[in-house]
Amino acid sequence: MLFMVEMTVRIPQSLDPQVAEKIKADEKAYSQQLQREGKWRHLWRVAGLYANVSIFDVKDADELHALLTALPLYPYMEMKVTALAQHGSAIAQN
Amino acid sequence: MLFMVEMTVRIPQSLDPQVAEKIKADEKAYSQQLQREGKWRHLWRVAGLYANVSIFDVKDADELHALLTALPLYPYMEMKVTALAQHGSAIAQN
Amino acid sequence: MLFMVEMTVRIPQSLDPQVAEKIKADEKAYSQQLQREGKWRHLWRVAGLYANVSIFDVKDADELHALLTALPLYPYMEMKVTALAQHGSAIAQN
Amino acid sequence: MLFMVEMTVRIPQSLDPQVAEKIKADEKAYSQQLQREGKWRHLWRVAGLYANVSIFDVKDADELHALLTALPLYPYMEMKVTALAQHGSAIAQN
Amino acid sequence: MLFMVEMTVRIPQSLDPQVAEKIKADEKAYSQQLQREGKWRHLWRVAGLYANVSIFDVKDADELHALLTALPLYPYMEMKVTALAQHGSAIAQN
Amino acid sequence: MLFMVEMTVRIPQSLDPQVAEKIKADEKAYSQQLQREGKWRHLWRVAGLYANVSIFDVKDADELHALLTALPLYPYMEMKVTALAQHGSAIAQN
Amino acid sequence: MLFMVEMTVRIPQSLDPQVAEKIKADEKAYSQQLQREGKWRHLWRVAGLYANVSIFDVKDADELHALLTALPLYPYMEMKVTALAQHGSAIAQN
Amino acid sequence: MLFMVEMTVRIPQSLDPQVAEKIKADEKAYSQQLQREGKWRHLWRVAGLYANVSIFDVKDADELHALLTALPLYPYMEMKVTALAQHGSAIAQN
Amino acid sequence: MLFMVEMTVRIPQSLDPQVAEKIKADEKAYSQQLQREGKWRHLWRVAGLYANVSIFDVKDADELHALLTALPLYPYMEMKVTALAQHGSAIAQN
Amino acid sequence: MLFMVEMTVRIPQSLDPQVAEKIKADEKAYSQQLQREGKWRHLWRVAGLYANVSIFDVKDADELHALLTALPLYPYMEMKVTALAQHGSAIAQN
């Protein structure tokens, strides 16, 4: 099942820069692993913002929740989740 | 270049049902043609709503504007447009 | 999988009262059938409003979309859909 | 009487992690006690968010207020409260 | 139990003025009956607006819903409902 | 003249708990004095929130401003002020 | 006592142009009478909009309500009312 | 040219009280100087809030910007600026 | 003096298509005349929307108001006006 | 391709004033370099606010994102990005 997730990152100025770099590196590695597994199907940057638009392909809302809350940047992210269905005019299957 | 377009359809109750059906059929044909041409790259239904999330792959904002305003349902749609850039952690190119 | 759906009904004053009564009766019958089948698990009235809070138990977003768009009152409803996951502190399973 | 309560948790980064863990454990125990007593009738996780949707079954607004303000996480929560009535199409009694 | 109800009236220009006057007269009579019964405890005009702030004293949300939906102006009103509890610093009982 | 004032309290976590308790005690005493003087005519708790709905009976906006800014909790409160007029259907005088 | 009133006019396209012109002329005459009486102390146009910012000097909210609801354009106006007090740094009295 | 400026002050709790008092005194002196010069034509307190509504009479937006950013409280203020034009029904000139 | 004006056009479905075409043609001619006179300095389309972002160079708010309200499409437009000042880092003069 | 970017700056009070001055000087130099290169085509101050309206002329969203995130003030800015297309009534080319 597909979900659109819109993530906005707000890292507080008080966070130690080295800690921040470590978290971002972990985030990137974890994100790329999920992409290779096909669970994080698309990842786009919102131009100009520290934000992304993502499409997740998961079994259900429980798997989505587990994946998202395991993101290293999760404590610094604001999330918006939208459940997606097959569109009747789409030529591809979800 | 990629754009996310979020479309919400509001067909007024006063529209003649036959006219409405004709517009929807035209919309579907036009939408599928753009999908086959690779310009309307993704089309997902927002679950429960008469709305979709779409990804367009176009040369620039002018081409996007031309494609969207040519939609048969355009006069009945509310649009939200977001410009997308390559995400540094994405394993695929936009 | 569970979804919370918040529905607000706005029947236009121009709708023929007899037509409106027929649609509402159909809505009630369809809603009760889905409740008996266990797909519309909960249905509560928002006090003072022509609105409800509902919990649906469906296979996925596609089934939810099919059920909701088949509601006789669907053309007159505004919908808000929220995907629900198992809560770690809940003593019941979703 | 039923109330829907939507809770969003925002634990400040400055809170000592051990203190935070203690508060969360207390919250879980208290929440499960209220669930077993039938006062916290439903508890669902909003997928992707540190938030929940809950249904409380209490005598009145005073009891609801007492229960909610006694939550160990209460100082870190944003609440939205909606009073629920019996829906005329529901096959179950509230 | 007390509820604050904020009502905003929007009578469409298309409504027959005589019908509108009749509905308003019925509304006034019904409102004053509920005030005399002690169920509509307070009724204040929001200065400058076709809107009011009201306090209802009812058994529960079901009674509130029944009273409000019986208002002659109900189809033309937008409602906001807030459940009220006893305030610890109030010198009067709710 | 009557004003509805909606107050939401946000005490920062950084405030010394003893100082906070002292401020709350002062607030309660001051609030009850104003209630006894008839200036703070009603005080209700918004169920579930650290917020209240209040009705003030004052000479004018200047007196209202003086009373509110003298509240011990004022620096931690968000206020919404609404001027109230006599409602034509009210059986009581403001 | 002073109130700031922000008025936005929305005349429906369906209103007969001659009727509209008559209403606007009445509005202008009534508005200028109130200005000469000192009750409508200031009247400014919001640049680019069919809207104004006004300052009323009235006895209380009841008088304000009576004046505003007597405006010929009142049924086509959206109002926002703000009660004003004497500012401690103002060199003029309200 | 006239501008309406709505200012809301938010002084952080962390600001040294003596520094805060000094800034407020400077603000008052500067504000009164501008009032005497006729540039800050009106200054009203929003009842109940640490906020004001002001009317500035300046040559253009550049002068307005220079005056506002020179306010001692400027770093702690949220501003909303509205350009005002002559109203056709006003009996006074702007 | 410069103003940014954001215009959104909403032509009602009920407007006669021939009348609409005439209004749009008049709008285009008038807009191009103002551009040639240097008063409508920039005009950009918001991609995907029936909306534009414009920069006007006028003497003051009165001239802006006169120009905008003379637009043939004015009755069908929603406007947002922002006064612009010289930016300290700009290499060009406004 | 053109983008409108609306930037609002929020420098935290806790930032060292000397560091802040250095960042602002770097921002000015970088901004003027981009203006001279023709990439930052327009830069206007929003009157009264620590905010600007800018027009960028870039190859695509990727270049825009690279330019914006390289701004020295970027960590302290809130951005709103709008893609612009050629307007059919504009006498100039984008």
pLDDT 10s digits, B57-74: 999 999 999 999 999 999
Which residues on chain G are in Cβ contact (under 8 Å) with I3? 47-48
Q: What is the pLDDT of residue E27?
A: 98
Q: What is the DSSP string of G3-52?
A: EEEEEEE---TTS-HHHHHHHHHHHHHHHHHHHHTTSEEEEEEETTSSEE
pLDDT of res. H13: 85
CA I49 to chain centre: 15
- Among the partner-chain residues J14, J15, J65, the one whose CB lies closest to the CB of A47 is J65
pLDDT in tens, E38-64: 999 999 999 999 999 999 999 999 999
Residue B79 above 90 pLDDT?
yes
Task: Give kind and range of the element (H or E) at residue D84.
Answer: strand D77-85
Across E54-92, b (16+ Cβ under 10 Å) vs e yields: bbbbbebbbbbbebbbebbbbebbebebbbbbbbebbee
Classify H92 as helix, strand or coil. coil
Which chain B residues touch A80 with a CB distance below 8 Å? Answer: none
User: What integer pLDDT is reported at residue H2 of this predicted model?
Assistant: 98
Q: Is the pLDDT of residue F21 over 90?
A: yes
Task: Name the nearest CA neighbour of I75 among I22, I29, I23.
Answer: I23
Of A13, A47, A50, the CB nearest to J64: A47
Q: Using CA coordinates, name the residue in chain J closest to A13.
A: J75
Residues of E with Cβ-Cβ distance to G64 under 8 angstroms: 47-48
> pTM for the full model?
0.97
Task: Report the distance separating Cα G17 and Cα H89, nearest Å.
Answer: 19
* Facing E46 at nearest CB: one of F48, F53, F84: F84
CA pair distance C33, D85, nearest whole angstrom: 21
At least 3 CB pairs under 8 A between chains C and F: no
User: For position F50, what pLDDT does the model report?
Assistant: 98
Amino acid identity of residue J16, one-letter, is D
CA angle H82, H87, H92 (to 5 degrees): 110
pLDDT-flagged residues of chain J (< 70): none
Residue H11, C-beta contacts closer than 8 angstroms, at least 6 positions apart = H20, H73, H76
pLDDT digits (tens, 9 = 90+) for I14-70: 899 999 999 999 999 999 999 999 999 999 999 999 999 999 999 999 999 999 999
Task: Say whether C46 and D82 touch across the interface (CB within 8 A).
Answer: yes
Q: pLDDT tens, B20-58?
A: 999 999 999 999 999 999 999 999 999 999 999 999 999
* Chain J closest-CA separation from residue I82 CA (Å): 7
F11 backbone dihedrals φ, ψ, rounded to 5°: -85, 125
A64·C84 Cβ contact <8 A: no
CA distance E4 to chain C (A): 11
Predicted pLDDT at B52: 98
Give the confidence band of G14 by pLDDT, cuts at 50, 70, 90. Answer: confident
* Cα separation values, E49 from E27, F82, G5, Å: 17, 11, 11
The DSSP secondary structure of H10-62, one letter per residue, reads: ---TTS-HHHHHHHHHHHHHHHHHHHHTTSEEEEEEETTSSEEEEEEE-SSHH
Per-residue pLDDT at G43: 98
* Mean pLDDT along residues B3-7: 98
**Chain J residue with the nearest C-alpha to that of I28:** J89
Picking from F59, F65, F82 by the largest number of H CB atoms within 10 A of its own CB, the best residue to mutate is F65
**pLDDT, tens digit (0-9, with 9 covering 90-100), for G30-76:** 999 999 999 999 999 999 999 999 999 999 999 999 999 999 999 99
For the record, the structure tokens of D84 come out as 């629920």
**Six token digits for residue E47:** 């200065």
For I62, the 3-state DSSP assignment is helix
Contact call for residues D11 and D75 (beta carbons, < 8 A): no
Picking from J77, A67, C10, A4, the residue whose alpha carbon sits closest to that of residue B55 is: A4
Q: Is the pLDDT of residue G13 over 90?
A: no
Q: How many inter-chain contacts (C to D, CB under 8 Å) are there?
A: 89
Closest CA to D84 of D4, D10, D6, D8: D4
Q: Is the pLDDT of residue G22 over 90?
A: yes
Q: Which residues pair with I42 in a beta bridge?
A: I55
Nearest chain G residue to E48, by CA: G65
**Which residues in chain C have Cβ-Cβ distances shorter than 8 Å to E64?**
47-48
Chain D: which residues have CB within 8 Å of chain A?
13, 45-50
Residues of G in contact with I64 (CB under 8 A): 47-48
Residue F28 has pLDDT above 90, yes or no: yes
SS (H, E, C) E53-87: EEEEECCCHHHHHHHHHCCCCHHHEEEEEEEEECC
ipTM above 0.90, yes or no: yes
Chain G hits for I69, Cβ within 8 Å = 48, 50
**Are the CB atoms for F79 and F6 separated by under 8 Å?**
yes
The chain I residues in contact with chain J (CB within 8 A) are: 2, 4, 27-28, 31-32, 35-36, 42-48, 52-53, 55, 82-92, 94
State how far the alpha carbon of B33 is from the alpha carbons of A22, B3, B24, B40, in Å: 46, 18, 14, 9
Which residues of E sit within 8 Å Cβ distance of D? 1-3, 60-62, 64-65, 81, 83-86, 94
* Confidence class for position D20, pLDDT limits 50, 70, 90: very high
What is the Cβ-side half-sphere exposure of residue D7, based on CA atoms within 13 angstroms?
26
Query: Residues G25, G29, G32, CA angle at the centre, nearest 5°?
Result: 135
Q: What is the DSSP letter of C92?
A: S
Which of A58, A60, A80, A86 is the best residue to mutate to test the C interface, defined by the most C CB atoms within 10 Å of its own CB?
A60
How far apart, in Å, are the Cα atoms of G78 and each of B54, E7, G51, G72, H50? 36, 15, 9, 13, 26
d(CA J7, CA J9): 7
* Distance, CA of F57 to CA of E42 (rounded, Å): 14
Task: Mark yes or no for CB contact C79/B45 under 8 Å.
Answer: no
In chain F, whose CA is at the least distance from the CA of G84? F61
3 state SS for chain B: CEEEEEEEECCCCCCCHHHHHHHHHHHHHHHHHHHHCCCEEEEEEECCCCEEEEEEECCCHHHHHHHHHCCCCHHHEEEEEEEEECCCCCCCCC
Per the listing, tokens 């996951």 go with C85
CA distance A75 to chain D (A): 9
- Compute φ and ψ for D48, nearest 5 degrees: 90, -15
Q: Is the pLDDT of residue I13 over 90?
A: no
3-class state of residue A8 by DSSP: strand
Neighbours of chain H (3+ CB pairs under 8 A): F, G, I, J
The rounded distance, in Å, linking the Cα atoms of D58 and J72 is 54
Beta carbons within 10 angstroms of residue H22's beta carbon:
12
CB contact under 8 A, F1 and G84: no
Helix (H, G, I), strand (E, B) or coil at E30: helix
- What's residue D14's pLDDT? 87
Closest residue of E to G77, CA-based? E49
* Cβ–Cβ below 8 Å for A62 and C85: yes
Rounded to whole angstroms, the Cα distance separating E92 from E84 reads 14
- Reading the block at residue G36, the tokens are 């000469």
The DSSP H or E segment spanning J28 is helix J17-36
Burial class from Cβ neighbours inside 10 Å (0-12, 13-18, 19+) for residue C59 reads exposed
Q: What is the pLDDT of residue E13?
A: 85
Per the CB < 8 Å rule, is A2 touching C84? Answer: no
User: For chain D, which residues lie within 8 Å of any Cβ of chain C, measuring from their own Cβ?
Assistant: 2, 4, 27-28, 31-32, 35-36, 42-48, 52-53, 55, 82-92, 94
Residue D86 tokens read as 């019996």
The residues on F that touch H, with CB distances below 8 Å, are 3, 5, 12, 14-15, 61-62, 64-65, 68-69, 75, 79, 81
